[in-house]
Structures are given as structure tokens and as C-alpha cells.
Structure 1
Amino acid sequence: MTLRNSQTVTALELRVRIALTPDVVNTGAWSTISADALVTTVEQQADALVYTFTLKPGMRLGAATHFFGVQYGHATGGRDPSRDTYQAVATADDGARAEVDGRF
């Protein structure tokens, strides 16, 4: 995922849901945002792996392009990603809020 912000961000949450298909397992997550500024969690739910990236309280992100990756293994062969989703919510230092969501 690529997120671009043109204003300073004071709150950010990005959630990526990977639908559980045969043999889906978490193999990692990463971001270009420093680990000192970000909390990254992975939760296995009944129907999905849920990766969440949250900006820590008090942290600020200047205008920039940020990258996030979720990694998972799955059964041999192709995998249909149509049930995989993402949602991002950001708040700028002036209080403006932006949301985006979709499917892969």
C-alpha cells in the first residue's frame, strides 16, 4: 500500500484484511514509517488475517509518501484476492480527516 499525505498527519490507522483461503498464514508486515512512530499488529480472526498499522499518540508525519506491506503465505497456485480489503483513516494537524477504502 502507498499512502501520500500533503499535510502533517497526527493520527493514522491503516487496516488490511486478507481473507482466509487455504493455508493462508501471516509471514510479516512492514512500513517505511519508523517503528518508533508506529504500532503494527496482526490478528487472526475467523475469516481473515487483519493487519493494522496505527500512528502512536503524539507522533506526527510530515507531508510525504509512505509505504506499507503485508506478507502472507498461501496454498500452492493462484489465490483470488477479491475478498481482501483495505481501509485507511488519517487526521491532519488542522483537524481535517481523510478516509479511503477498497478491495485488491
Structure 2
Amino acid sequence: MAKFMLFLLLLGIHSLLLFQAQARICMSCDMFMNGRCFHGEGKCVMEEGGACTTRDIYLLNVKGGFVYNHTVLECSKPCKASKETYFHLKISSFCCQSPDFCNRYKGKIVKQYAN
């Protein structure tokens, strides 16, 4: 009986290590701008069938064009690359599944000029 319990314990540990070896880690950030996270920085573990997601957020300006505002980085299931427009808002979504933190540097770097 003790050998059987030891076998089950080792089987469980092996399964846990196998699962951890396959898990992918993504960067998460609620507001990524100019190459850094301003709000909600962290990590998330991609679920099976999921992906690391990058969403670029654009806002409508007074001239009628869209201007980049910020990027959202997260884990998502399912993830589908898309470009969606809602009146004053445009969202471009991108997905990646490897390597770890594959969504790390997808945010736009906005150059600001002094007048």
C-alpha cells in the first residue's frame, strides 16, 4: 500500500512539473505607454488554447482621425487578431503564444516634441 501511495505522489509531482514546463507567461499591464507600464503591471499565465494579447487603443481626435492613446497587455482566451472601431474608439488586437513575455514590447512609443 505504501508503494502505491508513493507511486501516486510521484505521478502527481511529475504531472505538475510537466504542466509547469508547458505553461507560458505573458506580461500584463492596464496602461502601457512610451515603453513602460503606468498602471496594473504584472504577469499572467496563458490558459490552454489562449495567448498573450496586445491591444493598441486609439481615440478619435477633433480632426476626425484616430490617435494612439495606450496599449493593454494581457492573457486572453480565446485570442483573435482584429481591428475594431466603435464611434470614438479603435482597438487593434494582436496575439502571440511563444516565447514567454512575447507581448512585452508591442506598445507604441509616442515621441513628444517641445514647442
For the criterion TM > 0.5, the same-fold answer is: no
* TM-score, structure 1 normalization: 0.33
Bigger RCO (CA 8 Å, 6+ sep) = 1
Considering fraction of residues, name the structure with more helix. 2
- Larger of the two Rg values belongs to structure: 2
* TM-score, structure 2 normalization: 0.31
